[in-house]
A and B are shown apart, each in its own frame.
Chain A
Amino acid sequence: MTNDLKVLDHTGDTQIRWNPSNRDETQAAREHFDSMKAKGYLAYALDADGARGEVIRKFDPQARSIVMTPQMQGG
C-alpha cells in the first residue's frame, strides 16, 4: 500500500509517496508534512475521491491521501 502527500505549490503540486510499513519513507513524508505545517499550510486527510475527509494537524502515516494547501486569507 502506498499513501500519498500532495502539497499545492507553483508547480501544481509536489507529491510524496510513502509505504507506512517503510520507516524511512514514512519519516520523509512526516518531515515534509511538518515543514509545510510550520509554514502555515493547512492539511486534509481524504478518501480516494476526496468526498470524505477531515482537517488534520498532525501527520497521520495511515492516511491514504493528504492534500496540503497554503494558508487561507480573506480577499
Chain B
Amino acid sequence: MVRIIKETKGRILFQCINYTILTICMIIAIYPVLYVLAASLSSYAFLAQGRVGIIPMGFNLDAYKRVLAYPMIGRSYFNTVFYTISGTFISLLLSTLGAYPLSRKYFPGKDFLTKVVVIAMLFSAGMIPTFLVVRGLGLYNTVWAILLPTAVSSFNLIILKNFFEQIPYEMEESAALDGCNHFQTLFIIMLPLAVPGLVTIGLFYAVYQWNSFFPAMLYLRDRNLVPIQIILRDIVIQNQTTDLAVDLVKGSDQVSESIRYATIMVATIPIMLVYPFVQKYFISGIMIGSVKG
C-alpha cells in the first residue's frame, strides 16, 4: 500500500518536471518562428531599429502583398508542390524496394549491398561530376533532373531497413506459407506494419525536396519548371552576404527587411504544417506489439 502511494507521488512529481521541461522546450523552439512571423508583419521603422521581438510593431501586410505579387510565384509554388509530392513518392518507392531486401537476414547480397549504400553516403561526388552525368543522361532542363538524382538517401534507406528488421520474422514466414512471393509479402503485409518508419522517412524526403535549391539552380533553364526556392531565395540571402560590392554599388534597398521575413514564411509555412497531419501515424503499432509479446 505504502509502495503504491510513494509511486504515485513520485510519478506526479516526475510528470510535473516533465511537463515543465517540455513547455520550456516549446517556448525555446517557437521563438524563432514567432520572431520571423512578427518581423514579416512589422513596419520598416521599427525593424530598422531592431525593436521588433515576437510581437509585430507597426502591423501591416505590405510585405506579404509584395511577395505574393512577385511574378511566377503561383507557378513556382505549384512546381514545388508537384516536385515534393512526386519526389517523395518516388523516393519512398525506391527506398522500400531497397530497404526490404537488405533487411532479410538470409539475403545473400545483404552485406555487400548494404556497404554499397553506406559508402555512397560517406562520399560526395560534388557538383560538376553529378552535373555531367545528369546531362549525359539527357535529363537537363527536365523535371527528372529534380526528381531522380536525389531520389534515394542512404541515410533514410538504412533507417527504413532498421524498421523492417524490427518486424517479427513470423510475419514474413506466415505470409510465405500462405503462398506470397516476396513482392506480395512486402506490399501487403510488411508495408502496413512499417507505417511509422515510412511516414518518418517520407517526411524527411518531403522536407528535403521542398527546401531543395541546388538541383533546380543547376539543371533547370526553363523558368516554368522552377520551384519556389529559386524565386525567393535570392531575396532572403540579399544583404546577408559579405559581398558588399554588390550592395554598395547597386544601391540601397529600404524595403528589404520585412520582405525577407515574409518570404521565409511564404516559402516554409506549408511544409511546417505537414507534420501535424502525419502525427497520427505515430501511434503504437498495435499489430506489431501484439505479435511480439
Q: Do A and B actually bind?
A: no
The interface of chain A, by Cβ under 8 A from chain B, is none
Which residues of B pack against A, CB within 8 Å?
A: none
